[in-house]
Structure 1
Amino acid sequence: MLKKILLGIRKGTIVFKNAIVAIAIGIAWVISIVVMIIILPPCFVWVQYKLYVEDKRKRMRINAERKAALVAPKGVQNA
């Protein structure tokens, strides 16, 4: 394989172009794996955390409104 590439480089034939394409595809493949393994999981975790925090705030607000409704006098509840 290496010999063919070197011959292609010396002759300037299509083999050299195929080698460049193969190297480019290999680099793109490695980059895609790095993105999938290193970058995407923290993004998913971050999104889940944001949704959790938002849900927690919503629940806290609803609970606070319920407590306020229980403490308030009867005439003020519907205000």
Structure 2
Amino acid sequence: MAAHTGGDIEDPALGILRRPDLVLVGPRKGAGAVMSDLGPGPDGRRCYRTRHDYVFGDKITVGEWSVGTSEFRRYRTS
């Protein structure tokens, strides 16, 4: 699952602001990543140039927000 805080949708009244940050949530392994600093890569193509990995339970920063991930749930294993 991914939550994108930017894109073509922007509605300040609803709190939706254009932020090119991306949060990756991996419920299978209980970990994820926050991708930021969108810009040209070494080959000139647009890419995320900063990645911060986290495990469920960490507090992460996404743009101006701090998000506690302790409530993120993992997939059940059989």
For the superposition of Structure 1 and Structure 2, which TM-score range results when normalised by the shorter chain? under 0.3
Return the structure number with greater relative CO, CA threshold 8 A, min gap 6: 2
Decide which structure has the larger Cα Rg and report it.
1
Q: Of Structure 1 and Structure 2, which has the larger fraction of its residues in helix?
A: 1
- TM-score scaled by length of structure 1: 0.16
- Bigger strand share: 2
